[in-house]
């Protein structure tokens, strides 16, 4: 693929938002995989839906159930309270905990088609590192000139908003994001905010994260507002805070 070297300014048509829903990341033990019912116990606070793509990863010295393969993609087939089943999977019930566990998480992130716009604000805490003079002034009776305050950047705070169009689609990921605002457990929620989403040329196409410019990280949803009138499409605004950053513009941070 040619190297992009255009100096033309980017527009919003180059952007995109990819989302991993909240309450879709959990740590599982061997006992959570039931071979008699072919089910996986993910707890009652989950928000998995039928059709969700999931992957499993291994932590520590745990071993995954032999009916599954780590990092392979599966799809949720059924959801009943705290239990889920996976399409085409037979649970063997032979996993072990060791000194670790098995992670289940929604993956890969999916695009939200109902985003009208997004905003992102980044600020750093200002730390005062001013010091007393380390020597005697040339002027009798003290310094003639005022001490200049010295500062350095501290921790970063990153947050923003997503403006979404409401639809009647039961499968709309935008509607699901808005539902996530009211979840007590928001583990697993993350966004990839593309300033310039470059296609990887595959079928179906996905963003090429090497060539694209984007900000990605885990998020917590902090607010929701909506305005409804008969003259305009119904839009809502979701406020979020980023709790981690895994990619910043053109650089991976992990």
Taking the model in full, what pTM does it have?
Answer: 0.89
Q: How many CB atoms lie within 10 A of CB 26?
A: 21
List residues bridging with 236 in a β-sheet.
Answer: 164, 226
Pick the CATH number of 23-107 from 1.10.287, 2.40.30, 1.10.3470, 3.30.43: 2.40.30
Q: How far is CA 26 from CA 2, 110, 189, 203, in A?
A: 41, 19, 12, 31
For the chain, give the percent of residues with pLDDT over 90: 87
DSSP secondary structure letters along 90-117: ------B-TT-EEEEEE-S-EE-TTEEE
Summarised one tens digit per residue, pLDDT across range 65-83 is 999 999 999 999 999 999 9
Q: Is the pLDDT of residue 96 over 80?
A: yes
Domain range annotation of the chain: 12-18+112-129+150-252, 23-107
Percentage of residues of the chain with pLDDT beyond 70: 97
In angstroms, the CA 100 to CA 29 distance is 8
The mean of the pLDDT values for the chain is: 94
Distance CA(53)–CA(109), nearest Å, equals 9
Distance CA 174, CA 214 (A): 19
Instruction: Please give the residue that has the higher pLDDT: either 204 or 99.
Output: 99
Please give the DSSP secondary-structure letter assigned to residue 13: G
Is there a contact between 188 and 109 (Cβ–Cβ < 8 Å)? Answer: no
pLDDT bin (cut points 50, 70, 90) of residue 6 is: confident
pLDDT in tens, 34-73: 999 999 999 999 999 999 999 999 999 999 999 999 999 9
User: Which CATH number, 2.40.50, 3.40.50, 2.30.110, 2.60.40, labels domain 12-18+112-129+150-252?
Assistant: 2.30.110
- Residue 178 DSSP class: H
| Predicted confidence (pLDDT) at residue 193 exceeds the cutoff of 80 | yes
- Average confidence (pLDDT) over 107-136: 93
Per-residue model confidence (pLDDT) at position 124 = 97
């Amino acid at each position: 693929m040619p190297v992009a070297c255009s100096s033309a300014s980017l527009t919003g048509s180059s952007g995109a938002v990819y989302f991993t829903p909240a309450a879709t990341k959990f740590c599982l033990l061997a006992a959570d995989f039931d071979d008699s019912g072919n089910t996986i116990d993910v707890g009652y606070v989950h928000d998995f839906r039928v059709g969700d793509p999931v992957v499993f990863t291994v932590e520590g010295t745990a071993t995954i159930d032999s009916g599954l393969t780590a990092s392979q993609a599966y799809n949720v087939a059924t959801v009943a309270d705290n239990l889920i089943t996976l399409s085409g999977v037979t649970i063997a019930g032979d996993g072990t905990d060791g000194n670790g566990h098995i992670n289940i998480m929604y993956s890969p992130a999916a695009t939200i088609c109902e985003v009208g716009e997004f905003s992102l604000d980044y600020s750093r805490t200002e730390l005062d590192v001013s010091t007393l003079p380390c020597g005697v002034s040339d002027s009798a009776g003290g310094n003639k000139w005022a001490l200049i305050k010295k500062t350095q950047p501290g921790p970063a705070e990153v947050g923003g908003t997503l403006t979404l169009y409401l639809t009647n689609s039961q499968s709309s990921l935008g509607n699901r994001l808005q539902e996530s605002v009211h979840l007590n457990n928001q583990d697993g929620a993350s966004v990839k905010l593309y300033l310039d989403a470059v296609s990887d040329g595959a079928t179906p196409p996905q963003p090429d994260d090497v060539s694209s410019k984007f900000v990605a990280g885990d998020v917590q949803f902090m607010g929701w507002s909506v305005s409804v009138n008969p003259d305009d499409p119904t839009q809502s605004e979701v406020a979020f805070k980023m709790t981690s950053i895994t990619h910043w513009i053109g650089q991976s941070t992990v």
